[in-house]
Amino acid sequence: MNDPHKNEHWLYGKKVDNINPNIIQRMNSLGLDKVAINTYDSVKQMAQCIEECFDPSMIKQSEKVVDSVVESLSKSNNILSTINRMICADPSLYNHSALVSIVCGVIANKINPTGFSGNFIQEAVKCGLFHDVGKSKISSTILLKEGKLTDEEFNEIKKHPKQGYIELKDLSELGKYVSMVALQHHERFDGTGYPHGKKGRYEDSDNGINIFSRICTIADVYAALIAKRSYKEAYSNEKTLDIMLKNMLNHFDPELLRVFINELKNSNVVNIIQDKPSTPDYKKLTIKFKA
């Protein structure tokens, strides 16, 4: 008889799950990218630990995981399509922060910011991995509630960006952008987001949104829409993109959104319909970085 716990192991005192070997075998038989499969497996495990109970001791291990994503992006153009097909094959493989971090890396990989002194892709992936750490302070009763939240419950949810920022801001090992993204990932390009109602690009205005946060906002919404959640069914990539373009277009930096849509198209994750906004091919989108 199969042991139902054979894929479990412990990391930082937390029980985490490896991807079932049968699923990996099935993905390999479909010719999917082995590097992408293994990368997602390691990111998913790390994200589980961070989400359940973040501890600063996790930072060093997270750096290795982030580096593996950056390396995978340099080797493979199929990481988005691979992960999408994995999640379709087994929805239990979905992990929000893991997918957000990888999508952040995919977008960042197509941007060439001038004036940024570090590894831009690495920083974006790291920001995505830690963006929701503040949710560990929110009651699971609220986070897992089926159906519509009350106004009081939604106001409680809206506290998580500030709580994440407080948790991360003094951890010098992470740098300042990780805590900034934790704080800003629900800000919207049109100024209607929270917690501070920031608007536009930080490169253009001191009240604007940092570029890593603008990247994470796109990744966060995409990852939330394609997944089954306690309050909604999973949406197809086509429906997800349709919602983002028709109902949320003003929430995102339009240039970064075009980069992301182009990557979905190039990865054959979604077919771009003719009446959608044009999506020119970007080898690199050059942005002047503002620290």
pLDDT at residue 108, as a whole number:
95
- Amino acid identity, position 170: D
pLDDT at residue 283, as a whole number:
55
> 155 is written with which tokens?
């106001």
pLDDT at residue 27, as a whole number:
63
Q: Which of 207, 197, 206, 107 is nearest to 158 (CA)?
A: 197
pLDDT at residue 228, as a whole number:
85
**Which helix H or strand E contains 17, and what residues bound it?**
strand 14-17
pLDDT at residue 52, as a whole number:
81
Three-state SS annotation for 36-81: HHHHHHHHHHHHHHHHHHCCHHHHHHHHHHHHHHHHHHHHCCCHHH
Contact predicate 255/285, CB 8 Å:
yes
Cα 164 from Cα 94, distance rounded (Å) = 22
Q: How big is the chain by its Cα radius of gyration, in Å?
A: 18
pLDDT at residue 7, as a whole number:
46
Three-state SS annotation for 169-215: CCCHHHCHHHHHHHHHCCCCCCCCCCCCCCCCECCCCCCCECHHHHH
Please give the model's pTM, rounded to 2 decimal places.
0.87
Q: Are strands 8-11 and 14-17 parallel, antiparallel or unpaired?
A: antiparallel
- Amino acid identity, position 54: F
Residues 6+ apart with CB under 8 A from 163: 134, 137, 138
> 69 is written with which tokens?
């994503």
Each residue's pLDDT expressed in tens, for the chain with a length of 291 residues: 344 334 444 444 444 555 566 656 666 665 667 888 889 989 999 998 898 888 898 999 999 999 999 999 988 878 888 888 888 877 888 999 999 999 999 999 999 788 898 899 999 999 999 999 999 999 989 988 888 899 999 999 999 999 999 999 999 999 999 999 999 999 999 999 999 999 999 999 999 999 999 999 999 999 999 998 877 888 988 899 999 999 999 999 999 999 999 888 877 676 544 334 444 444 566 777 887
Q: Which domains does the chain have, with CATH numbers?
A: 8-266 (1.10.3210.10)
Torsion angle, alpha carbons of 246, 248, 250, 255, to 10:
-80
